[in-house]
């Protein structure tokens, strides 16, 4: 028997506008570009909603209604959900309709789609808790499965997620970790006891996400019938085929005229023609299947680029300097208790900012260029660095304001204390002393006059 697990990542960052050094100290709005460029967040969200989210949601709702066995899973970044609430409530409602079917699972991740686990466990926990609360508020569910930003994963993270109560965690089926093993089984980190690791079958996932419209690909054109045959071949040699991909695959990365929607419309029916196939959500897969062995990832892996590591975000000096400077501000930012400062600092943690600074020019260079809204990685770094300068300026201003307010409160308390102070009544002994002094003074005066 082979189960199929569809999981879609849905995310849009708050892109930084063209923020100049002259803006530091004057303009504290970093994400409000209104130009025709691809750093206009509202414009991008409406474009992707029109091309992908709305038509894909409509299609998947049809498939859920048509095939009772059909199931899917999503994870939504918190910053994506925020933008839906602000710019496109109708898109949010369409996602809520899908979840209400009861056959759509929502996974947890970091609210700001960040790399926080690498730099601050405390901040990581804060963001996961924020995300869990947002999912509960908007969808009425509490996630049981965790998916870290860009499938960044290692043994330590698996153990940490287990401690937070998750039943399963997603990871990339990286060949250099798997070796001879297959990604079509469930595994467990060597330091974990209960949490199970579900691995992406990157070959089959990328056939849809990346190669679908490539006419130079030997398997083009890809049909639902052909893909279903590849899945059928797993029967007897695997528990579950995990098809993990960006949701923007449908209509945005693979345009409608490539036939991607028609392919997806036909796929569930083709998959279900095989009597041993069924569809599961990640939590159902974790509940149904035992872990067959260990997936031992000492170093961090991810689903990005051919290296499947952190190099998409942390491979050059610009990226490392930017993210290091950002997390160095953590204590001061949180101590400020200024909601706008904390919010902006949090949005600056989104991994996309560092992805835009990547300078890979070889195998993955075209992919990075496609996703980069800036003309060059250096433009992305300059804008980000200028924003950090302004954030420091605001933190210092908040400190001074806090110190000034503290002094004023101290002065006010002092004045209030003086006003409330009751006149001290003289004691009996003091009164006797005063009387005695008066008598002595009178006696001396009489003697002088005599």
Q: Where are the domains of the chain?
A: 2-311
d(CA 54, CA 90): 9
pLDDT score, position 446: 54
Residue 299: its pLDDT value, please?
97
CATH 3.90.650.10 fits 2-311, yes or no: no
pTM: 0.89
Alpha-carbon span 284 to 270, nearest angstrom = 22
Contact 57, 68 (CB under 8 A): no
What pLDDT shows up at residue 424? 57
Count CA atoms closer than 13 A to 161's CA, side-chain side. 31
pLDDT tens for each residue of the chain, 450 residues long:
789 999 999 999 999 999 999 999 999 999 999 999 999 999 999 999 999 999 999 999 999 999 999 999 999 999 999 999 999 999 999 999 999 999 999 999 999 999 999 999 999 999 999 999 999 999 999 999 999 999 999 999 999 999 999 999 999 999 999 999 999 999 999 999 999 999 999 999 999 999 999 999 999 999 999 999 999 999 889 999 999 999 999 999 999 999 999 999 999 999 999 999 999 999 999 999 999 999 999 999 999 989 999 999 999 999 999 999 999 999 999 999 999 999 999 999 999 999 999 998 644 555 656 678 999 999 999 999 999 999 999 999 999 988 876 777 767 777 676 667 655 555 555 555 555 555 555 555 555 555
Positions annotated as catalytic residues are 150
């Amino acid at each position: 028997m082979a189960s199929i697990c569809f999981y879609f990542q849905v995310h849009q960052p708050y892109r930084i506008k063209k923020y100049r050094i002259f803006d530091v100290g004057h303009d504290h709005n970093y994400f409000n570009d209104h130009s025709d460029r691809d750093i206009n967040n509202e414009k991008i969200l409406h474009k992707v909603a029109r091309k992908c989210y709305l038509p894909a949601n409509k299609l998947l709702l049809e498939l859920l209604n048509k095939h009772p066995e059909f199931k899917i899973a999503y994870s939504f970044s918190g910053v994506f959900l925020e933008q839906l609430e602000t710019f496109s409530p109708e898109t949010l409602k369409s996602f809520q309709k899908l979840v209400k079917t009861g056959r759509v699972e929502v996974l947890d991740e970091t609210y700001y789609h960040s790399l926080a686990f690498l730099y601050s466990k405390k901040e990581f926990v804060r963001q996961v808790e924020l995300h869990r609360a947002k999912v509960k508020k908007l969808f009425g569910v509490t996630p049981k499965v965790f998916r870290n930003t860009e499938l960044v994963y290692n043994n330590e993270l698996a153990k940490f997620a287990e401690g937070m109560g998750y039943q399963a965690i997603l990871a990339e089926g990286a060949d250099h970790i798997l070796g001879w093993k297959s990604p079509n089984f469930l595994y467990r980190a060597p330091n974990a006891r209960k949490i199970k690791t579900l691995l992406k079958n990157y070959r089959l996932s990328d056939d849809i996400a990346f190669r679908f419209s490539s006419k130079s690909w030997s398997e083009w054109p890809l049909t639902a019938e052909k893909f279903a045959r590849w899945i059928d071949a797993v029967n007897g040699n695997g528990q579950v085929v995990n098809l993990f991909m960006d949701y923007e695959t449908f209509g945005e990365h693979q345009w409608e005229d490539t036939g991607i929607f028609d392919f997806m419309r036909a796929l569930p029916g083709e998959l279900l023609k095989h009597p041993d196939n069924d569809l599961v959500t990640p939590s159902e897969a974790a509940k149904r299947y035992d872990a067959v062995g260990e997936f031992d990832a000492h170093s961090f892996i991810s689903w990005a680029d051919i290296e499947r590591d952190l190099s998409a975000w942390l491979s050059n000096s610009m990226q490392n300097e930017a993210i290091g400077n950002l997390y160095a501000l953590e204590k001061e930012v949180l101590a400020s208790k200024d909601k706008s400062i904390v919010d902006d600092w949090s949005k600056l943690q989104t991994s996309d900012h560092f992805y835009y600074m990547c300078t890979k020019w070889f195998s993955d260079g075209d992919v990075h260029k496609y996703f980069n809204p800036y003309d060059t990685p250096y433009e992305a770094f300059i804008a980000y660095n200028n924003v950090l300068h302004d954030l420091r300026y605001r933190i210092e201003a908040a400190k001074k304001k806090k110190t000034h307010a503290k002094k004023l409160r101290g002065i006010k308390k002092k004045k209030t204390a003086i006003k409330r102070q009751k006149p001290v009544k003289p004691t009996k002994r003091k009164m006797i002393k005063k009387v005695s002094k008066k008598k002595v003074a009178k006696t001396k005066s009489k003697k002088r006059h005599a």
